[in-house]
Amino acid sequence: MLSIIVNKKLKRAVGSLSVIAAIMTTSATVVNADELGWPEKEELKFGFIKLTDMAPLAVAYEKGYFEDEGLYVTLEAQANWKVLLDRVIDGQLDGAHMLAGQPLGATIGFGTQSHIVTAFSMDLNGNGITVSNDVWAEMKKNIPHEDGKPVHPIKADYLKPVIESYSDAGKPFKMGMVFPVSTHNYELRYWLAAGGIHPGYYAPHKGDTSGQIDAQALLSVTPPPQMPATMEAGTIYGYCVGEPWNQQAVFKGIGVPVITDYEIWKNNPEKVFGVSSSWAEENPNTHIRVVKAMIRAAMWLDANSNANRPEAVKILAKSSYVGADEEVIANSMTGTFEYEKGDKRDIPDFNVFFRHNATYPYYSDAVWYLTQMRRWGQISEPKSDNWYLETAKNVYRPDIYAMAAKALIKDGLAEAKDFPDFDAETGFKPPQTEFIDNVTFDGTKPNVYLEQFSIGLKGDTVL
């Protein structure tokens, strides 16, 4: 295949349309690029947060997949999720590694109002909940053991008496999460509520965006890389975050990860690649080509039963990406997860980048996030099932994903069996049952789903 990157470099160097046309006529495979169309914008800047699940961006860059699409990409770490989102909105970034809730939250106007879309899901799973050594010492007394080790999954039921003891002592129990519309916020709330611990409500219609109304555990925002130090300082007693910041607590000896999100909701969607709706409209070919490159990166990350993960660890350890020790990153990226020091267990799907259709932007994933926004008051008023569906379709763009996947198949870089059946795919996964509280989620029935919870807003309830 005559790489589009070669054509682009020649175009820059020669600047002659006649020369480019001559080159294109000599290539037997340029028709694929021709059908898709050249990128409207070649030089791009993408943002990310220093987490291992930014890997598809790093791999697409390091392996030359972006250049294969005629894209000259700069990857730039951002200070926090708000800065990242704001820079996508104002055009300083062309796109970014985002929390799955960010495009949805921005589009419906929780926090910053702006229409953001995603055509690529970056990964499944990858998060954990860690508590301080002191909290763990108290929790551990209540947890059943086998062969001298705690039985997993560890439910929040075992944290509840610890929180009650703090309350009796007049001491608020504080925990960290990375952003109000983050997966981490919703997963932490889900885990706490499943154990009978109220994580608090938001009431934006009353000007209260603290998320702490009626809370038994007080959740607040801390940027991911600062989580371990914030807990070590005693400002928070636990947190929910992505890797490598749970494993960092183990290595530093300051805390114990008690549960992964894989155990809270098996194969849950985590990050997405987000762009502004206006950018997507102005750069349709560029967008498809970005998604093509990132699908290839995701395939590489999961190929041959994670055989490339050791190399991925070396890439991510670079200071320009995650910048953590290779050993810390490898602890979760290579199919294991360490809870207490020395209690390392096999979790081959802790980080999934391509398996299980991980990259496909399912409408049902979007609906789940929207239900959690409603459950905890970020959506303050009741919404119809149709509203959830239309909002999901306004933000998640499987049509763009399908065009990228079909182009890869034409290029001989992927096979149809690697993807959903695009002709039959509805965008909704079958009802999902593997939650820690055994509640079933059917994305086509969001209001029925919300009715199943004893803690949380539902129906016509308004604070």
As given in the structure block, the two tokens for residue 157 are 């039921």
| pLDDT value for 17 | 36
| pLDDT value for 95 | 98
| pLDDT value for 112 | 87
**Is residue 446 reached through a cis peptide bond, with omega within 30 degrees of 0 on the bond before it?**
no
What are the extents of the domains in the chain? 4-123+276-418, 127-268
As given in the structure block, the two tokens for residue 49 are 């947060």
SS3 97: strand
CA distances from 268 to 29, 109, 167, 261, 308 (A): 38, 24, 32, 7, 22
- Which architecture characterizes domain 127-268 according to CATH? 3-Layer(aba) Sandwich (3.40)
Superfamily of domain 4-123+276-418: Periplasmic binding protein-like II (3.40.190.10)
Residue 99's beta-bridge partner residues? Answer: 271
Rg (CA), the chain: 22
| pLDDT value for 22 | 33
- Let me know: does 426 contact 420? Beta carbons within 8 Å: no
SS3 383: coil
- Let me know: does 258 contact 196? Beta carbons within 8 Å: no
What is the C-alpha separation between 198 and 79, in angstroms, rounded? 30
As given in the structure block, the two tokens for residue 356 are 């299980």
Q: Residue 329: which residues within 8 A CB-CB, separation 6 or more?
A: 52, 243, 244, 247, 313, 316, 317, 322
Fold match flag (4-123+276-418 vs 127-268): yes
Q: How many CA atoms lie within 13 A of 39 on its CB side?
A: 26
Per-residue pLDDT of the chain (463 residues; tens, 9 = 90+): 333 443 444 343 333 333 333 333 333 333 334 489 999 999 999 999 999 999 999 999 999 999 999 999 999 999 999 999 999 999 999 999 999 999 999 999 998 899 999 999 999 999 999 999 999 999 999 999 999 999 999 999 999 999 999 999 999 999 999 999 999 999 999 999 999 999 999 999 999 999 999 999 999 999 999 999 999 999 999 999 999 999 999 999 999 999 999 999 999 999 999 999 999 999 999 999 999 999 999 999 999 999 999 999 999 999 999 999 999 999 999 999 999 999 999 999 999 999 999 999 999 999 999 999 999 999 999 999 999 999 999 999 999 999 999 999 999 999 999 999 999 999 999 999 999 999 999 999 999 999 999 999 999 999 9
| pLDDT value for 252 | 96
| pLDDT value for 35 | 83
Long-range contact list for 198-203, CB < 8 A, 24+ apart? 198/455, 199/376, 200/376, 201/376, 201/377, 201/457, 201/463, 202/376, 202/377, 202/378, 202/380, 203/377, 203/380, 203/463
Q: How many CA atoms lie within 13 A of 100 on its CB side?
A: 33
- Let me know: does 317 contact 55? Beta carbons within 8 Å: no
Nearest to 249 by CA among 138, 400, 378, 135: 135
Neighbours of 406 (CB within 10 A): 18
